Amino acid sequence: MSSPIAIGRHEPPPLLVLHLLIHLLLGFQQLCYSLGTHSNNRITAAMPLPCLPDQAAALLRLKRSFTITNDSECTLASWRAGTDCCRWEGVRCGGANGDGRVRSLDLARCFLESAAIDPALFDLTSLRYLNLAHNDFNGSELPATGFERLKHLTHLNLSDASIQGKIPVGIRHLTNLVSLDLSTTFYLVDQDDHFRSLDTWSDPSWWVVEPNIGSLVANLSSLRELYLGRVDLSDNGEDWCTALTNSSTPQLQVLSLRHCRLFGPICTSLSSIHSLTEINLQYNGLYGPVPDSFADLHFLRVLDLADNDLEGLFPKRILQNRNLTTVHISYNTNIYGSLPNFSPVSSLTTLIVSSTNFSGPIPSSIGNLKSLNELGVATNDFRQELPSSIGQLTSLKLLEATGAAIVGTIPSWIANLTSLVLLRFSNCGLSGPIPSSIGNLKNLTRLELYRCNFYGTISPHIFNLTHLKVMYLHSNNLTGTVELSSFWKLPHLFSLNLSGNRLTIVDGDVNSSHVNNMNILRLASCNMSKFPDALRHMSFIQYLDLSDNKIPGAIPQWAWETWSQLVLLNISHNKFSSGNALPVDIESVDLSFNQFEGPIPTPAPDLASLDCSNNQFSSMPFNFSYQLSGICYFMASRNNLSGEIPSSICDARSLVLLDLSYNNLSGSIPSCLIENTNSLSALNLEGNQLTGKLPHNIKKGCAFEELDFSKNSIEGQLPRSLVECRDLQVFDIGDNQISDTFPCWMSVLPKLQVLVLKSNKFFGMVGPFCFGRAKQFFFGTLPIKWFKTFKSMMVKSSDESLSMENQYSRFSQTYQFTAAITYKGYDVTFSKLLRTLSIGELALLRGLNMSHNTLTGPIPSQLGALQELESLDLSSNDLSGEIPQELAQLNFLSVLNLSYNALVGRILDSPQLSNNLSYLGNIGLCGFPLSKECSNMTMLSSHPSEEKHVDVILFLFVGLGVGIGFAVIIVVTWGIRIKKRSQDNRFSFWKKVLCM
């Protein structure tokens, strides 16, 4: 064996030297990489390993899944086989140890297209940073498996990537995640005041869904940023907040859950996450108070709760937090409070409390907020002018003010705020002319002065605002004749609303190319008598409102050729007589209250809302599967439609509201319209010539809220499967040929509030499901327990609208439920129904009429609990016994009619009940105001009988300001035998049912 010294004496052969040099070089390189764990080792940075073959292969497979389009801002041209993938566009490798593995993949805003996220992505198991935001995965579902392999991920961003479906379970296992962003940008429709209608045109199925947010973040203990904007969290119910705070997210700093379909209160435990710096819960359905404990979040910088249903006192302590930079709570109309005095050391840059119920003085110390960029104030019960100190905030870019108590004129100091981009005075008490000084605000892009008391002509100085994009001057008292062409001087103007003034709009000369920029044009109630010729040039118009004018004749043919991008068209309440086409991509059309004839215009398949009511249309589209496949709201009442309802109407799978009332439709109701739909909530077929029987196989999950089949010739029985319609509020089958027993089984419907059965052929007993005992007909004792079953008719939450209505969330419109009744021989149709009724516990009941039945037994003393009762009519029954003393305790009872019963004993000693007409036909009664003095004699009455329809009417009168003040709650008519009453002596105490 040779020693090293011996070897060193001989000259090595050249090949051996080469091998030795290679081994030395590789050994030196390996030593460098082993030392590369030290951040100060410069040798490692100079000689990283190239991309490993498996990493390059995965990236190339991923590249093949993408399509490069004209909009793509990343060509991926550097992604070529045989080159180092660590140097490819958007790819970073190695980190400190330079192992050739991909650590970062950033393709954000490349606008690439793909059918789905390719599984090749999950072979990059060393990824720390993954950003695929703003690419298009065509609405595909997130992969169910694969994310769990990326266990080193700290940042995951899939925002605005056109994905949907449940958040994969694998993401819950990424315990190193610091930032998770699955949000989607949602589009808001400019609805005159601000962008409030969400996702108006987007496919509602394109939502990422998370039914258990607590489970999602339970293991993400390193999470600092959570962005889930427009992720559907509705299945979390009211417990979303506690589920989130009970999870292990102690380091969470940013919580952004904008427009996530959240509802319920904000839990106080949210403030237990002390690290929070931003809370953004905009555009949800949250209610209840804002937790006072938010003031104790010392690191909180941003609090954005705008556009919810929050209520109660807003904690002033929050506004005094010196670290806050943003407080935005606008469009929570039930939040109240007042602004504190502000310190000069405040950090606020955004303070918006407008469109709330804030009151009290707006402090002059608001001028101390020198860093303020956005300011929105409100006051509703403390009359004052806007403090002049606001004029010192020269950095303001946004200023808005709301509230009836903000009075005076537009202040002169407005001219000092030359940085303003948005100026909004709305729903306020400001008055006077629009000052010429507005023209000095050269940077304005939005000028919104609406629903106040501004008057006078439109100042020509407004046309100096050459950067203006949006001008809203609607709902004021502006006067004068205005040439539409004058607005085309503003080169960037794309949205204009002049509706609801006393203006007269005329065309003027169209000599500017800027007219083509218009996107939104609202000219309702502008005394127009001619179709504006300027519309011929508006090829980009999307929202057009010409309603409530005097425009006659036909819609010009050029309109349909020009308006290729029209989305919403409202030409209702004019004198249009023809126009038989609609733009291809239109979403909402209102043609109501015109003079259109012939067939209803053939709409496009994507049409969502079509109102053709109150015209003279003679036929409707027959092939719904093509012409109206996407319709949600279809209203064609009060036309001349005839023939049968086409069965193809059931092909409109998204139909929510269908109103074909008051036409000449015949035949039977298509069974699929009632049995095979899970979306239809309001169906109104009143006043036609429909025959046959109602379909009987209504399926579970029925969405009906209103069903109106009244004034037809429908026969047979009521379908017992109606009990599947758990949301049913209004059911009207009056004036038909129904032959059935009284539907006691409907008492299981939890939300039923209006039931109309009159003028049918109901017979038999009102059974145990109604009164709690068997064999009880609708004559006998007056049953208190029966009234107590009207649970859905009792007082509702203050959050709920008093009017019973169906909200078109898609188009911010309302469809109000109606009911027609026969009362004292008169047919009355009510276009508004109020929700509130209870008897026994019917706390707001003002009027109760149970006259002209065959009720027997004593008057229940429990009626004395109805402290709001003003009118009580129990006349023309067979009530016996004494008048309960409890009725004398009803302080508001001014009208009492107990006439024509078999009552005995002493009349109540109460001044407001001293009308002798109230007691006629009760020969057993005595005492004032009757001439008969009391004795021990008891007299009974008898009446001959005849067969007659009976109306049982329960009314609730509720004041609604100057306008309507009533509610019809339940109307039932049976054909049973009752005893004849003297027609001449009937006493009707309802002077008016409808007060206008």
List the domain boundaries for the chain: 49-177
Provide mean pLDDT across the span 948-970. 32
Question: Would you say residue 18 has pLDDT above 60?
Answer: no
Inter-residue contact 262 to 234 (CB < 8 Å):
yes
Question: Would you say residue 651 has pLDDT above 60?
Answer: yes
What pLDDT does 55 receive?
A: 97
What pLDDT does 932 receive?
A: 79
Residue 337: φ, ψ to 5°: 155, -165
Question: Would you say residue 680 has pLDDT above 50?
Answer: yes
What pLDDT does 415 receive?
A: 94
Inter-residue contact 488 to 514 (CB < 8 Å):
yes
What pLDDT does 984 receive?
A: 32
- The CA distance from 306 to 331, in Å, is 6
Tokens read off for 913: 């009940």
Question: Would you say residue 347 has pLDDT above 70?
Answer: yes
What pLDDT does 205 receive?
A: 60
Least trusted range by pLDDT, from 157-161, 183-187, 758-762, 791-795: 791-795
Q: Print burial letters for 505-522: b (CB count within 10 Å at least 16), e (below 16).
A: bbebebebeebebbbbbb
Most confident of 614-623, 812-821, 955-964: 614-623
What pLDDT does 895 receive?
A: 79
954 CB neighbour count, 10 Å cutoff: 22
What pLDDT does 521 receive?
A: 95
What pLDDT does 925 receive?
A: 86
Question: Would you say residue 171 has pLDDT above 70?
Answer: yes
Question: Would you say residue 247 has pLDDT above 60?
Answer: yes
CATH number at 49-177 = 3.80.10.10
- Cα of 752 vs its chain's centroid, Å: 22
Provide mean pLDDT across the span 842-854. 64
Q: CB-based contacts of 121: which residues, under 8 Å, 6+ apart?
A: 58, 62, 105, 130, 146
Question: Would you say residue 948 has pLDDT above 80?
Answer: no
| 828 vs 428, more confident | 428
**Which amino acid is it at 470?**
V
Q: How confident is the model at residue 105 (pLDDT cuts 50, 70, 90)?
A: very high
What pLDDT does 813 receive?
A: 56
What pLDDT does 962 receive?
A: 26
What pLDDT does 913 receive?
A: 66
The tens digit of pLDDT for each residue in 866-891 reads 777 778 888 888 888 888 888 877 87
Q: How confident is the model at residue 897 (pLDDT cuts 50, 70, 90)?
A: confident
Question: Would you say residue 628 has pLDDT above 80?
Answer: no
Q: Print burial letters for 71-86: b (CB count within 10 Å at least 16), e (below 16).
A: ebebebeebeeeeebb
Q: How confident is the model at residue 398 (pLDDT cuts 50, 70, 90)?
A: very high
Per DSSP, 931 falls in state S
Question: Would you say residue 796 has pLDDT above 50?
Answer: no
- The CA distance from 670 to 648, in Å, is 9
Most confident of 187-196, 645-654, 720-729, 944-953: 720-729
Long-range contacts of 939-945 (CB under 8 A, 24+ apart): 939/904, 940/902, 941/900, 941/901, 941/902, 943/900, 943/979, 943/980, 943/981, 944/979, 944/980, 945/977, 945/978, 945/979, 945/980
**Which amino acid is it at 810?**
R
What pLDDT does 917 receive?
A: 72
Output the average pLDDT for the chain.
Answer: 81
The tens digit of pLDDT for each residue in 515-543 reads 878 999 999 999 999 999 889 889 889 99
- Bridge partners of 813? 808
Provide mean pLDDT across the span 111-122. 96
- 3-class DSSP state of 665: strand
Provide mean pLDDT across the span 607-633. 85
Q: How confident is the model at residue 16 (pLDDT cuts 50, 70, 90)?
A: very low
Q: CB-based contacts of 628: which residues, under 8 Å, 6+ apart?
A: 603, 605, 607, 610, 621, 634, 649, 652
The tens digit of pLDDT for each residue in 300-340 reads 999 999 999 999 999 999 999 989 999 999 999 999 999 99
- The CA distance from 84 to 763, in Å, is 88
What pLDDT does 191 receive?
A: 59
Tokens 């293991």 locate to 219
- The CA distance from 201 to 199, in Å, is 6
The tens digit of pLDDT for each residue in 662-671 reads 999 999 999 9
The tens digit of pLDDT for each residue in 272-300 reads 999 999 999 999 999 999 999 999 999 99
Tokens 């070897």 locate to 7
Question: Would you say residue 502 has pLDDT above 90?
Answer: yes
What pLDDT does 193 receive?
A: 53
Least trusted range by pLDDT, from 205-209, 440-444, 891-895: 891-895
Question: Would you say residue 202 has pLDDT above 80?
Answer: no
Question: Would you say residue 484 has pLDDT above 50?
Answer: yes
- The CA distance from 444 to 219, in Å, is 48
| 944 vs 505, more confident | 505
| 990 vs 769, more confident | 769
Provide mean pLDDT across the span 65-76. 92
What pLDDT does 478 receive?
A: 97
